[in-house]
């Protein structure tokens, strides 16, 4: 895998000198202060080899990348019954849009837009309680990494998410009118804001993502974290919906299941081959990491890992 180390080193150098870097998310104060010059990337292959470059050990706010993990937990909890409360389709709208909820009776298009993730969190709060859901999510993530204490929820970020999260509050209350939020709105949103405030490094995020690379199995412990069918479901939704209204373009450019967050992180998975995390805080117009997307495109061009290649 020396070749992978060389490839990502060259990618990191290209990203280092890139003039166009996007814009940081300004509506969440801690994210607005992150240095646009940061770039990190980690690749973990199916044999457990890890290659990192740049700021891959720097913790950052993973934001909506966390929706992959809460959704995995909800699938474990509910199985196919989850589709009565959240659909499986691309939205074609911004991640925080309220437009489709009225015509679709409060059922979000997919679990990766904000409304869908709030419903997923409502399911977990109903099963485990507000504090229990936070603990379960942290336990789930920490079970997948070699340094579990490094994964934290940033309470200050969560507080500021709550103070500025007017649209998410509106989404939750609107869905409550349709009966699709069943706990006290404050409890569900408290969990949602804390989930989005999870911090990880690229190394940790890639390590967490290995269960999706290995058909739902933790490659370190051999534990079946989710069923192979549920892992396939998560990956399919990452491919179709993981980059909001930029998901189609990401599928064409990169060709891997991926999930972005407004903190500038992206988790991408080449099933059976590699789990990849990249972080660059500058975002494009759709709220996805500009250089992170470009770096993943370069990686796939060099490795041929796109799931749409005949030789994959």
CB atoms within 10 A of CB 30: 16
Position 1 scores a pLDDT of: 52
Does the residue 308 lie in any domain? no
Does the residue 164 lie in any domain? yes
The answer to whether the CB of 29 falls within 8 A of the CB of 160 is: yes
Q: Is 211 annotated as a binding residue?
A: no
Element (H, E) at 128: helix 114-128
Q: Is 161 annotated as a binding residue?
A: yes
Structural domain harbouring 134 = 4-303
Nearest to 206 by CA among 133, 123, 292: 292
Position 274 scores a pLDDT of: 98
Write out pLDDT tens, residues 236-261.
999 999 998 899 999 999 999 999 99
Does the residue 311 lie in any domain? no
Write out pLDDT tens, residues 123-176.
999 999 999 999 999 999 999 999 999 999 999 999 999 999 999 999 999 999
CATH number of the domain enclosing 163: 3.40.710.10
Element (H, E) at 61: strand 60-61
CB within 8 A of 145, min separation 6: which ones? Answer: 151, 204, 207, 208
Global confidence as pTM = 0.96
Position 93 scores a pLDDT of: 73
Q: Residue 312 pLDDT > 80, yes or no? A: no
Using pLDDT thresholds of 50, 70 and 90, give the confidence band for residue 83: very high
- How far is C-alpha 90 from the geometric centre of its chain's CA atoms? 16
Using pLDDT thresholds of 50, 70 and 90, give the confidence band for residue 207: very high
Q: Is 262 annotated as a binding residue?
A: yes
Does the residue 310 lie in any domain? no
Q: Is 157 annotated as a binding residue?
A: no
Catalytic site positions: 64, 67, 192, 244, 262
Distances in Å between the Cα of 193 and the Cα atoms of 63, 136, 140, 166, 228 are 9, 15, 18, 12, 29
Does the residue 197 lie in any domain? yes
Q: If you count them, how many residues does the chain have?
A: 312
Q: How many domains does the chain have?
A: 1
Q: Is 96 annotated as a binding residue?
A: no
Q: Residue 97 pLDDT > 80, yes or no? A: no
Using pLDDT thresholds of 50, 70 and 90, give the confidence band for residue 200: very high
The answer to whether the CB of 31 falls within 8 A of the CB of 262 is: yes
Does the residue 223 lie in any domain? yes
Does the residue 30 lie in any domain? yes
The answer to whether the CB of 97 falls within 8 A of the CB of 113 is: yes
198-200 and 258-260: which strand pairing? unpaired
152-153 and 198-200: which strand pairing? antiparallel
Does the residue 244 lie in any domain? yes
């Amino acid at each position: 895998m020396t070749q992978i180390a060389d490839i990502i080193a060259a990618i990191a150098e290209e990203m280092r000198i890139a003039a166009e870097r996007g814009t940081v998310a300004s509506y969440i104060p801690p994210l607005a202060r992150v240095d646009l010059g940061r770039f990190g990337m980690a690749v973990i292959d199916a044999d457990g080899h890890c290659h990192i470059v740049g700021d891959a050990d720097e913790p950052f706010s993973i934001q909506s990348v966390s929706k992959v993990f809460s959704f995995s937990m909800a699938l474990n909890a509910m199985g196919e019954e989850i589709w009565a409360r959240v659909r499986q389709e691309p939205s074609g709208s911004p991640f925080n849009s309220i437009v489709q909820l009225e015509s679709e009776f409060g059922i979000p298009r997919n679990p990766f837009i904000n409304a869908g993730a709030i419903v997923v969190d409502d399911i977990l709060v109903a099963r485990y309680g507000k504090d229990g859901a936070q603990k379960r999510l942290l336990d789930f993530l920490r079970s997948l990494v070699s340094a579990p204490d490094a994964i934290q929820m940033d309470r200050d970020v969560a507080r500021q998410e709550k103070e500025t999260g007017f649209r998410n509050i509106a989404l939750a209350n609107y869905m409550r009118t349709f009966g699709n939020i069943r706990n006290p709105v404050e409890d569900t949103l408290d969990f949602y804001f804390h989930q989005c405030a999870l911090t990880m490094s690229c190394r940790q995020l890639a390590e967490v993502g290995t269960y999706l690379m290995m058909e739902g199995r933790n490659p370190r412990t051999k534990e079946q974290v989710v069923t192979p069918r549920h892992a396939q479901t998560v990956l399919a939704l990452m491919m179709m919906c993981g980059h909001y209204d930029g998901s189609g373009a990401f599928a064409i450019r990169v060709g891997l299941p991926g999930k972005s967050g407004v903190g500038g992180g992206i988790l991408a998975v080449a099933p059976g081959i590699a789990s990849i995390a990249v972080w660059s805080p500058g975002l494009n117009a759709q709220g996805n990491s500009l250089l992170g997307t470009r770096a993943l495109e370069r990686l796939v061009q060099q490795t041929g890992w796109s799931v749409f290649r005949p030789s994959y």
